[in-house]
């Protein structure tokens, strides 16, 4: 694993802010529900698993999950997951190991230089006929509108790579306006400091593909 392959993430340095993010960003649980319904039984790979928040919720008697995360400060060993250190560009597993693989807001940001290398690695480690799901911001919502730079993914980019897309409506729902300001000012500066609400419309997109070699 090369250090230069890891995209820096704030969660290990500011765990209190990441705790707010993970608790509030899909308060309805609609992204988890989508993944739960669309991932098959058997072994799944979570790419860029963060602290294991999503993997922990998708684990059941029929679905085992390997949580792969390159940043050791993100890994939460208390979570009942199989942890692995690795990057999307170089997945440390044999060909056809997994029935499925997914990434939630991790590494697969369109336009980043190594995305196609990462997709080739995912296609290698997932069985033919297995499921691949990439989750990112859809845009056109109150949350993304706070950002002065584009933070939504590009459906055309993923369509060109053979992915279907599904828009998932959820909300960023904070416990107070103060909590909303704390996280949103960290993300968006002055625009976040000025917010007056606790709930923000948030549209997420899931890109799905059946793996073919
Ligand atoms: C925005 S966080 C999302 C974490 C988690 N998927 C979630 O939904 O809570 C992005 C994660 O991707 C990880 N990451 C950074 N570079 C990566 C790479 N090259 N391959 C896979 N994951 C990477 C970061 O360390 C971070 O934990």
> Model-level pTM?
0.96
Instruction: Take residue 8 and report the two structure tokens written for it.
Output: 């820096």
- 165-193 per-position pLDDT tens digit: 999 999 999 999 999 999 999 999 999 99
Nearest atom within ligand 1 for CA of residue 48: 22
Structure-derived torsion over alpha carbons of residues 93, 3, 189, 141, reported in degrees to the nearest 10: -20
Rg value, the chain, Cα? 17
d(CA 92, CA 19): 28
The binding-site residues of ligand 1, defined as CB within 6 angstroms of any ligand atom, are 5-7, 9, 11, 22, 47-50, 53-54, 69-71, 74, 87-89, 104-107
d(CA 213, CA 209): 12
The SS3 of residue 92 is coil
CA of 12 to the centre of ligand 1 (A): 11
- 20-48 per-position pLDDT tens digit: 999 999 998 999 999 999 999 999 999 99
Domain carrying residue 110: 3-210
Provide the domain count of the chain: 1
- 105-120 per-position pLDDT tens digit: 999 999 888 999 999 9
> Based on the number of CB atoms within 10 Å of its own CB, is 31 exposed (0-12), middle (13-18) or buried (19 or more)?
buried
Supply the residue whose CA is at minimum distance from atom 23 of ligand 1.
Answer: 48
CATH number at residue 133: 3.40.50.150
Q: What is the mean pLDDT of the chain?
A: 96
């Amino acid at each position: 694993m090369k250090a230069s392959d890891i995209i820096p993430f704030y969660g290990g340095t500011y765990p209190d802010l990441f705790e707010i993010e993970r608790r509030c960003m899909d308060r309805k649980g609609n992204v988890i529900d989508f993944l739960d319904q669309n991932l098959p039984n058997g072994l799944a790979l979570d790419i860029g698993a963060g602290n294991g928040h999503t993997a922990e919720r998708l684990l059941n008697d029929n679905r085992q999950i390997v949580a792969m995360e390159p940043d050791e400060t993100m890994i939460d060993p208390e979570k009942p997951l199989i942890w692995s250190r690795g990057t999307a560009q170089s997945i440390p597993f044999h060909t056809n190991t997994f029935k499925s693989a997914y990434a939630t807001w991790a590494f697969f940001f369109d336009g980043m230089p190594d995305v196609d290398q990462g997709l080739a690695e995912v296609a290698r480690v997932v069985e033919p006929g297995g499921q691949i799901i990439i989750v990112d911001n859809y845009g056109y919502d109150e949350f993304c509108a706070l950002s002065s730079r584009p933070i939504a993914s590009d459906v055309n980019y993923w369509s060109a790579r053979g992915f279907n897309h599904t828009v998932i409506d959820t909300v960023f729902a904070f416990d107070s306006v103060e909590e909303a300001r704390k996280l949103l000012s960290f993300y968006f500066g002055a625009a976040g400091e000025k917010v007056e609400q606790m709930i923000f419309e948030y549209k997420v997109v899931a890109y799905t593909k059946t793996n073919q070699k």
